[in-house]
Amino acid sequence: MGDEYPTLFRSEQMSLVQLIVPTEVAHDTIAELGELGNVQFKDLNPNVNPFQRSFVGEIRRIDEMARRVRFFASQIEKEKEPIPIRPLYDSAPLVTVGPRAAQTIDELDVKLAEHEARLTQMNESYQLLSERLRELVEARHVLRETAVFFEQAATRETEVRNSLDDSSAPLLQHDDREQQYSSGELQFDLEFVAGTIDRARLSTFERVLWRVLRGNLYMNYIDIQEPFVDPATGAETRKNVFIIFAHGDILLGKIRKVAESMGATIYPIDVNADKRADSMREVTGRLEDLQIVLYNTGASRRTELTTIGESLASWQDVVAKEKLIYETLNLLNYDVRRKTLLAEGWCPTRDIPQIQLALRHATEESGTNVPPILHELRTNRTPPTFHRTSKFTEGFQTIMDAYGIATYQEVNPGLFAVITFPFLFAVMFGDIGHGFIIFFAALSMILFERKLGKADLGEIFGTFFFGRYIILLMGVFSIYTGFLYNDIFSKSLHLFHSGWDFPEQHGNETVVGASNGHTYPFGIDPAWHGAENGLLFTNSYKMKMSIVLGVIHMTFAVCLQVPNHIRFKRYSDIYTNFIPQMIFLQSIFGYLVICIIYKWTVDWSKASTQPPSLLNMLIGMVLSPGQVEPETQLYPGQSTVQIILLLLAGVCVPWLLITKPYLQYQEMKRVQGQGYIGLGADDAPRLTDDTTLEGEEEGNGRAIAEANDEEHEQHDFSEVVVHQVIHTIEFCLGCVSHTASYLRLWALSLAHAQLSEVLWNMTLANVLGMPGLVGIVALVIVGVLWLVLTISILCVMEGLSAFLHALRLHWVEANSKHYEAGGYQFVPLSFARLNEKQ
């Protein structure tokens, strides 16, 4: 069984394997298995605290390394000019297996620590320097702005003086001038405080000062245009220069204190203009020096980061892998006495040779000659479900996994969804044009698959990209159903000779088409397009088609029970469940389908009666059995057939309801009659098939994690009864409601067709006939509008809605007929998955 070629029909056969790994090859073994990616390890010490496990020390060390790598990554990210990070596939692989593994890790650890120390130091000095630079820049601003202020004040002073001086006597002019000069000097003896403060705090600062000094101050402030950037965080702050005049040492002291506590920086400014100019020169000079130093520091820091960027990707990879390896090692059982690790896990049976190969490879790599031992365990636990998917089937399988993970070895509806899903979608989305649009969209995604696969696509587009193969098939099937409906952007194609002739039309009169004996070979005759009863015709056609498709789909789903019953050796279920369900479904709804097809074959224009309504027929069949009005009769002998069918369906209900519980009861009686009592699953003897293990001490040859965490299902009789009652009710009611539910195929396809027709009529139809230049311009504008609306509304929105309904038809209508979905996913240890997560 194990070498059966893997199919999607059933989940893969799994084996519980036990690995006995010598400690020295443990790391390499796990690394190798991680690369291979098909073993799911079980936690063998669930009762041990995470930090009491064997490899906590290593994990902690790896964590520390991971922190450093994250630190580098964030530093590189913060850099304004992007620093190239060499991609993983381009960088030299860092070998962490083999005899030198430990050394490599040690070296890496040291290297990371060194880089971190260097980078931190550089950051610090850079920060220090930029801090000093910032102070100098601020000082320069303060000097410049206060200079402006003093100059203004000086001129104003003279103006004031002059205006006052006008009336004074010319004799005193000389004195006055002298006095004025000195008083000007005196004026600026007014004490002041100058500095810079964060703009956001300015108003608070001013308010507090005003209250502290009770208004005894004169404050002036000017914005500094350029923002200051914090080198560490990259945050921008905007600052203001302020200058405050006040009297008295106490007040000035208070101002200084408030300013300091509010985070302002105060700069000593001299009153004397010359001294100010001096300090300005000094500041500028120092600023230039500092800028050079800062530039050099920045450059060397950048070089350091570039060096880091070279190998950052491989470090990230190694660190992530190592962490995963040690976390996995922690799941294993550590036998100190024998220096071995005991691992248990699930793997696909057909991969065991591969795993053994990997184990041998790991042994060779690590240079020891003690190979890990692998052997299969026999177990009565349910293995995880594993469907081997390709990139094509992955999307479809995901749709079904979203409903529920298949029970181990159950028939997998994901396989059939590959065809049924796009087909049911297309029934609702039938339009050649729209089909082509989504087909090409999917095709382009597939052609650029490699490129797109690497890029981060965002959540929304990523989802579409993931389902590209689904979309591709949906497109293909939509084109097919589009041909069936003969619909291309709500127009129809005249591919073949129409089966109807129309006499020439005069004015607005209605003309009646006459059949010319042709049959349109494929799809709907284009003559129906635009016919007055066209909608009536397509409605009736699509409605009946939906029912037919629905009954076929459900019948198929019911049939899928059979392989399950056979595989799980529940043969009695075939006649307690499958057969009555089938009869019930077919005798009512199968009959309806046959009637639909029969009605299509009858030429009602030549028949003696009017075409009967099939809906009324079905209602009448159940409500008044045996009575068929002659004028609504479909075929002779109808009432007898219907009574028989109804009786058949009626019999099926108690059949479904009673037989299974009864058989179960019989079984129980028999077992008890033979004097057996049910044993707990744990007491059942478990023999390993490996006889060499017999000599081993107890515990080692058995699955360790197997003990009592899975309760065996109790075969309680009342439970079986209740379950069967629910099942019966669900099925019988479900048949009716599910059949009706398939009418959504009709409704959605009708809505789609009507919507695209409305769009055409409201946009392009109006401008197609327009003559001259205006016509061309209008055609271009409206054409673009039409195209945009077609893609956004008809393809994307309508497509999503049709997708949703197709999804529902699979999940509810089909899956409920056979799918148990009681399994759990196989999650192997895999480095490939790790990359996906990142």
Partner 1 sequence: MEALLFNVSGGFLEGIVRGYKAGLLTQNQYNNLTQCETIEDFRTQLSATDYGNFLANEPLPISTSTISDKATQLLVDQFNYLRSNSVEPLNKFLEYMTYAYMIDNVILIITGTLHGRNTNELLQRCHPLGIFDTMPALCVATNVEELYHTVLVETPLAPYFRDSVTAADLDDLNIEIIRNTLYKAYLEDFDAFCHSIGGPTADIMHRILAFEADRRALNITINSFGTQLSKEQRAKLFPTIGRLFPEGNNALARADDIDQVRQACEAIAEYRAFFESGPGARANGNGSGVGSESTANLLGDLGVSDELGAAAELEDRFFVHEVHLNKLAFLQQFQYAVFYSYIKLKEQEIRSVTWIAECIAQNARDRIHDFIPTF
Contact 797, 823 (CB under 8 A): no
Q: Which is nearer to partner 1, 74 or 692 (CB)?
A: 74
Q: Which is nearer to partner 1, 71 or 149 (CB)?
A: 71
| Distance in Å, CB of 210 to partner 1, minimum | 9
| Distance in Å, CB of 58 to partner 1, minimum | 12
- The runs of H, that is alpha helices, within 188-272 are 199-212, 249-261
**Does 50 participate in binding partner 1 (rule CB under 8 A)?**
yes
Q: 177, 247, 257, 494: which one contacts partner 1 (CB under 8 A)?
A: 257
Give the binding range for partner 1 (CB under 8 A) out of 168-176, 199-207, 669-677, 764-772. Answer: 199-207
Give the binding range for partner 1 (CB under 8 A) out of 38-46, 250-258, 330-338, 448-456. Answer: 250-258
**Does 101 participate in binding partner 1 (rule CB under 8 A)?**
no
Instruction: Tell me the one-letter amino acid at 403.
Output: Y
Q: Give the C-alpha separation, 520 to 495, whole Å.
A: 9
Q: Which is nearer to partner 1, 67 or 670 (CB)?
A: 67
The strand pair at 228-229 and 500-501 is best described as unpaired
Q: Which is nearer to partner 1, 50 or 685 (CB)?
A: 50
The DSSP 8-state label assigned to residue 9 in this structure reads S
Q: Which is nearer to partner 1, 257 or 454 (CB)?
A: 257
- Cα angle at 480 between 476 and 481, to 5 degrees? 120
Give the binding range for partner 1 (CB under 8 A) out of 239-247, 254-262, 383-391, 541-549. Answer: 254-262
Q: Give the C-alpha separation, 679 to 683, whole Å.
A: 7
Q: 121, 204, 624, 766: which one contacts partner 1 (CB under 8 A)?
A: 204
**Does 78 participate in binding partner 1 (rule CB under 8 A)?**
no
Tokens of 826: 């196989």
Q: Which is nearer to partner 1, 209 or 545 (CB)?
A: 209
**Does 76 participate in binding partner 1 (rule CB under 8 A)?**
no
Strands, E, within 287-397: which ranges? 333-335, 340-348, 373-377
CA quadruple 438, 439, 442, 447: dihedral, nearest 10:
-150
**Helix (H), strand (E) at residue 262:** none
Q: Which is nearer to partner 1, 235 or 447 (CB)?
A: 235
Give the binding range for partner 1 (CB under 8 A) out of 48-56, 122-130, 595-603, 651-659. Answer: 48-56
> At how many degrees (to 10) do helices 743-762 and 534-559 cross?
140
Q: 4, 48, 51, 295: which one contacts partner 1 (CB under 8 A)?
A: 51
| Distance in Å, CB of 201 to partner 1, minimum | 7
Q: Which is nearer to partner 1, 72 or 819 (CB)?
A: 72
Q: Give the C-alpha separation, 761 to 569, whole Å.
A: 60
Instruction: Tell me the one-letter amino acid at 118.
Output: R
| Distance in Å, CB of 263 to partner 1, minimum | 7
The strand pair at 239-245 and 218-223 is best described as antiparallel
Residue 192: strand pairing partners: 245
Sign (positive/negative) of CA torsion 610, 614, 619, 623?
A: positive
Q: 73, 94, 147, 208: which one contacts partner 1 (CB under 8 A)?
A: 208
- Residue 740: other Cβ atoms inside 10 A: 12
| Distance in Å, CB of 308 to partner 1, minimum | 17
Q: Which is nearer to partner 1, 262 or 785 (CB)?
A: 262
| Distance in Å, CB of 166 to partner 1, minimum | 44
- Long-range Cβ contact pairs of 303-306 (< 8 A, separation 24 or more): 304/115, 304/118, 304/119, 304/122, 305/72, 305/75, 305/76, 305/79, 305/83, 305/119, 306/83, 306/84
Q: What are phi and psi of 351, to 5 degrees?
A: -95, 0
Q: Give the C-alpha separation, 309 to 319, whole Å.
A: 15
Residue 324's alpha-carbon distances to 98, 145, 317, 495, 723, in angstroms, are 17, 60, 11, 62, 43
| Distance in Å, CB of 53 to partner 1, minimum | 11
Sign (positive/negative) of CA torsion 380, 382, 384, 386?
A: positive
Nearest Cα to Cα of residue 474 among 751, 804, 788, 816 = 804
Q: Give the C-alpha separation, 740 to 748, whole Å.
A: 14
**Does 212 participate in binding partner 1 (rule CB under 8 A)?**
yes
| Distance in Å, CB of 262 to partner 1, minimum | 5
# chain residues binding partner 1, by CB under 8 A: 24
Give the binding range for partner 1 (CB under 8 A) out of 154-162, 258-266, 285-293, 675-683. Answer: 258-266
Q: Which is nearer to partner 1, 263 or 775 (CB)?
A: 263
Q: Which is nearer to partner 1, 65 or 471 (CB)?
A: 65
Q: Is 547 helix (H, G, I), strand (E, B) or coil?
A: helix
Q: Which is nearer to partner 1, 548 or 834 (CB)?
A: 834
Q: Which is nearer to partner 1, 50 or 517 (CB)?
A: 50
Site for partner 1, residues 259 to 298, rule: CB under 8 A: 260-263
| Distance in Å, CB of 250 to partner 1, minimum | 11
Site for partner 1, residues 757 to 816, rule: CB under 8 A: none
Q: Give the C-alpha separation, 508 to 677, whole Å.
A: 88
Q: 63, 226, 501, 716: which one contacts partner 1 (CB under 8 A)?
A: 63
Q: What are phi and psi of 237, to 5 degrees?
A: -125, 145
Q: 6, 13, 71, 721: which one contacts partner 1 (CB under 8 A)?
A: 71
Contact 783, 409 (CB under 8 A): no
Q: Give the C-alpha separation, 439 to 451, whole Å.
A: 19
| Distance in Å, CB of 261 to partner 1, minimum | 4
**Does 503 participate in binding partner 1 (rule CB under 8 A)?**
no
Q: 7, 48, 67, 609: which one contacts partner 1 (CB under 8 A)?
A: 67
Q: 211, 275, 497, 567: which one contacts partner 1 (CB under 8 A)?
A: 211
Q: What is the CA radius of gyration of the chain?
A: 42
| Distance in Å, CB of 116 to partner 1, minimum | 8
Tokens of 215: 């208004």
Give the binding range for partner 1 (CB under 8 A) out of 86-94, 201-209, 302-310, 500-508. Answer: 201-209
The DSSP 8-state label assigned to residue 467 in this structure reads T
| Distance in Å, CB of 253 to partner 1, minimum | 9
**Does 64 participate in binding partner 1 (rule CB under 8 A)?**
yes
Positions that interact with partner 1 (CB under 8 A) = 49-51, 56, 59-60, 63-64, 67, 70-71, 201, 204, 207-208, 211-212, 254, 257-258, 260-263
